[in-house]
Structure 1
Amino acid sequence: MAMTQTHELDLRTAEKFARIALSHVEREYPHKPGFVFGSPNDVRSPRETHPVFFGSYDWHSCVHGYWMLARLLNRFADLPAAPEIRGLFERRLTSAAVAGEVALFERPESRGFERPYGWGWLLKLAAELEIMEERRFADILRPLSRLVAGRFRDFLPLATYPVRVGTHFNTAFAIRLAADYGEAINDAAFLYLLRTTALRWYGEDRDCPAWGEPSGDDFLSSALTEAECMRRLLPIETFADWFSRFLPRLAEGQPATLFSPASVSDRSDGKIAHLDGLNLSRAWCFRSLTGALPLNDLRHSVLHAAADRHLAVSLPHVAGDYMGEHWLASFAILALEA
């Protein structure tokens, strides 16, 4: 997929990404279930189990497919796919369907369903719906978004330790997305919980070696995602001090392992295809972190160049094989809009 040299999101690219998401958010199969069956009555089709988010191979990918569509609708008033996106929301985001999603979360076996990755993306979607011209979709989703926010409130005080892996269990990524929801609904108490949790988990981290990156199925950088989480949640002066301690040799391109895009050997393998997501999510973090630095900071050009390298490697592969196509465009949007 051809992109501009500056790797910015334009109308043409937005339309391509919208068409990708529209092609899979209502595609029921193949489907990977992510919950515990409590009884034979729980064995139902994806569409019966997840009345809204049954497509896109798995629940969380469908959720962030909807987020991307809402984001593009908000971003581009003249998006050609806009009528189809609105039609999708009219069909799927109904009170009855959302009640069905809530019912799944309320099963005793679902306490950990989609924790924390899907929780973060659901709240990211809710935040985007809050700023849509048609606010009723945010109102319709609210029983589920409030339930998920409540899950965060219950879980974070119990989570003694963070999870630093580069996959769905990464806690920094989830609370970073959740922060957008807290801000969108002006929930100071929720933001305070996220901020104090981040400081408890990551506040004393120093001189991150990033030696485990990349792992074979990472789609998040443990180091950079943590830094982006702290950037989002901390006051700029506090973050600046923390960031200098956390990655003290960034101006020298160190740790070197963070600056080389991951190689993807087989995009038909769902786990290996994660590495395209790693490149895109790294680019998102690099660009976001760059924006927190003064223009005369030596790290600025280093991070900006790294973002461009990572985007160049994986943007051409957002579409192609369904193992990546059902989710990668969302991460491309994060990177291009950072």
Structure 2
Amino acid sequence: MPTEPRELTAEIAERFARIALGHVGREYPNKPDHVLAGPQDARTPRELHPVFYGSFDWHSCVHSYWLLARVLRRFPDTAAATEITALFEAQFTAEKIAAECDYLAQPTARGFKRPYGWAWLLKLAAELSALPNRDWSVRLAPLAEAFAQRFRDFLPLATYPVRVGTHFNTAFGLRMAADYAQATQDAAFSALLRETGLRWYGEDADCPAWGEPSGDDFQSSALIEAECMRRLLAPEAFLPWLARFLPRIENHQPRTLFEPASVSDRSDGKIAHLDGLNLSRAWCWRSLAASLPADDPRRPMALEAAQRHLAAGLPHIAGDYMGEHWLATFALLALEAGEAPAG
């Protein structure tokens, strides 16, 4: 078995934080998701998004801030903590957050970063709310509430889920938004997320995972759906659902979910997504394993699959900017998920 790390340590957290600190303030290269209604909208990333202008794109910048907040909360004595604190003080200001809110208020921004960026902004807000310094959470709150309201408005209109392995996957959106609903003790929002999950995925059974991996996946459409339902449902409801959805795990089926993806060119941003697929699968497998009874034969299989995917993904979180600007986030999710494999 590969000897990759199995849990998040202070040393690894410091490394991840250094990677994120190296790009959250890097404005270029940049891939904006921006609609121009007229020449007045032709502005630089920093002008459009004074908080989240770095990391190649807005959503990667948001979840890199989440990584930094998570490291600060779990390891407040690391060498990077002082830099993270200074960054948050400089960036999470009322004026800059108001500018991000103003951008969202434009008619052309209705679908901006739906649902991936919405979900990560709420995940960041949930993390900030758990830090001893509540000032940053309070300042971000108007932007977080704007995105929460977008979920409330959108989900009743969304007749069908989106099952792809990229940013548009709706199961990922529900799963991350659930953490914000819990952190804010918003029972109505939690209920909406759960009801939507059941409406979209409640009757799914015998998932073949035949489309995995696609050439630019960074999520497993099968496993993120399972992780979404694990997060939304009580154990007594989730375990029977999982048995219906993936009934052949004991036979290592669907086989593709147990085999890490191969990455042929890490300088190609789309192909580099497959490193993220390996890390996000590891996250999901570990979370699912932790939800299973200790004597369940599926549990060691899930943990072994997680470790194989970690071993495939962790060596490649830095080195080329196409992956470096985002992969550490999913590595952190994977290392923190569930519990470390035994042995």
**Counterparts of residues 116-135 of structure 1 (less than 5 Å):** 116-135=115-134
Instruction: Give the match for residue 247 of structure 1.
Output: 246
Q: In the aligned structure 2, how far is the partner of 1:133 from the partner of 1:4?
A: 35
Matched, 1:312 2:311: yes
Matched, 1:220 2:219: yes
Q: What is the TM-score when the length of structure 2 is the normalising length?
A: 0.97
Matched, 1:334 2:333: yes
SS of the residue aligned with 1:179?
Answer: helix
Q: In the aligned structure 1, how far is the partner of 2:188 from the partner of 2:80?
A: 37
SS of the residue aligned with 2:270?
Answer: coil
Question: Once the 2 structures are TM-superposed, how far is the Cα of residue 5 of structure 1 from its aligned partner?
Answer: 4.4
Q: Cα deviation per residue 1:219-242 (whole Å; 9 max; x = unaligned)?
A: 000000000000000010100010
Instruction: Give the match for residue 159 of structure 1.
Output: 158
For residue 92 of structure 1, what is the amino acid of its counterpart?
Answer: Q
Matched, 1:107 2:116: no
Instruction: Give the match for residue 77 of structure 1.
Output: 76
Identity of aligned residues (%): 66
**Counterparts of residues 1-338 of structure 1 (less than 5 Å):** 5-338=4-337
Q: In the aligned structure 1, how far is the partner of 2:336 from the partner of 2:8?
A: 7
For residue 13 of structure 1, what is the amino acid of its counterpart?
Answer: I
Q: In the aligned structure 1, how far is the partner of 2:140 from the partner of 2:3?
A: 35
SS of the residue aligned with 1:65?
Answer: helix
What is the Cα-based RMSD across aligned positions, in Å?
A: 0.8
Question: Is 2:4–2:310's contact at 8 Å kept on the other side of the alignment?
Answer: no
Question: Once the 2 structures are TM-superposed, how far is the Cα of residue 245 of structure 1 from its aligned partner?
Answer: 0.2
Q: In the aligned structure 2, how far is the partner of 1:110 from the partner of 1:294?
A: 45
Q: In the aligned structure 2, how far is the partner of 1:165 from the partner of 1:280?
A: 17
Q: What is the TM-score when the length of structure 1 is the normalising length?
A: 0.98
Question: Once the 2 structures are TM-superposed, how far is the Cα of residue 37 of structure 1 from its aligned partner?
Answer: 1.1
Taking a change above 3 Å as real, the CA distance of residues 30 and 251 of structure 1, as seen in their structure-2 partners, is: same
SS of the residue aligned with 1:70?
Answer: helix
Q: Cα deviation per residue 1:261-307 (whole Å; 9 max; x = unaligned)?
A: 00000000000000000000000000000000011100000000000
SS of the residue aligned with 1:24?
Answer: coil
Q: In the aligned structure 2, how far is the partner of 1:44 from the partner of 1:70?
A: 29
For residue 24 of structure 1, what is the amino acid of its counterpart?
Answer: H
Question: Is 2:4–2:314's contact at 8 Å kept on the other side of the alignment?
Answer: no
Q: In the aligned structure 2, how far is the partner of 1:171 from the partner of 1:227?
A: 12
Question: Once the 2 structures are TM-superposed, how far is the Cα of residue 77 of structure 1 from its aligned partner?
Answer: 2.4
For residue 311 of structure 2, what is the amino acid of its counterpart?
Answer: A
Question: Is 2:219–2:277's contact at 8 Å kept on the other side of the alignment?
Answer: yes
Q: In the aligned structure 1, how far is the partner of 2:37 from the partner of 2:71?
A: 38
Q: In the aligned structure 2, how far is the partner of 1:79 from the partner of 1:180?
A: 25
For residue 248 of structure 2, what is the amino acid of its counterpart?
Answer: R
Q: In the aligned structure 1, how far is the partner of 2:73 from the partner of 2:202?
A: 35
Q: In the aligned structure 2, how far is the partner of 1:330 from the partner of 1:171?
A: 19
Question: Is 2:126–2:183's contact at 8 Å kept on the other side of the alignment?
Answer: yes
Q: Cα deviation per residue 1:62-111 (whole Å; 9 max; x = unaligned)?
A: 00000000000001122110000000001111000001100111000110
Q: In the aligned structure 1, how far is the partner of 2:40 from the partner of 2:328?
A: 35
For residue 219 of structure 2, what is the amino acid of its counterpart?
Answer: L
Instruction: Give the match for residue 341 of structure 2.
Output: none
Q: Cα deviation per residue 1:102-131 (whole Å; 9 max; x = unaligned)?
A: 011100011000000000000000000000
SS of the residue aligned with 1:272?
Answer: helix
Q: In the aligned structure 1, how far is the partner of 2:241 from the partner of 2:139?
A: 39
4+ runs of 1 displaced by more than 4 Å?
A: 3-6
Question: Once the 2 structures are TM-superposed, how far is the Cα of residue 6 of structure 1 from its aligned partner?
Answer: 4.9
Aligned length: 336
**For structure 1, which runs of at least 5 residues remain unmatched after alignment?**
none
Q: Cα deviation per residue 1:203-255 (whole Å; 9 max; x = unaligned)?
A: 00000000000000000000000000000000101000100000000111100
For residue 35 of structure 1, what is the amino acid of its counterpart?
Answer: H
For residue 267 of structure 2, what is the amino acid of its counterpart?
Answer: S
Question: Is 2:3–2:311's contact at 8 Å kept on the other side of the alignment?
Answer: no
Question: Is 2:280–2:330's contact at 8 Å kept on the other side of the alignment?
Answer: yes
Q: Cα deviation per residue 1:142-192 (whole Å; 9 max; x = unaligned)?
A: 110000000000000000000000000000001100000000010000000
**For structure 2, which runs of at least 5 residues remain unmatched after alignment?**
338-343
Q: Cα deviation per residue 1:285-331 (whole Å; 9 max; x = unaligned)?
A: 00000000011100000000000000001100001000000000000
SS of the residue aligned with 2:269?
Answer: coil
Q: In the aligned structure 2, how far is the partner of 1:216 from the partner of 1:177?
A: 24
Q: In the aligned structure 2, how far is the partner of 1:6 from the partner of 1:235?
A: 30
SS of the residue aligned with 1:216?
Answer: coil
Taking a change above 3 Å as real, the CA distance of residues 234 and 178 of structure 1, as seen in their structure-2 partners, is: same
For residue 273 of structure 1, what is the amino acid of its counterpart?
Answer: A
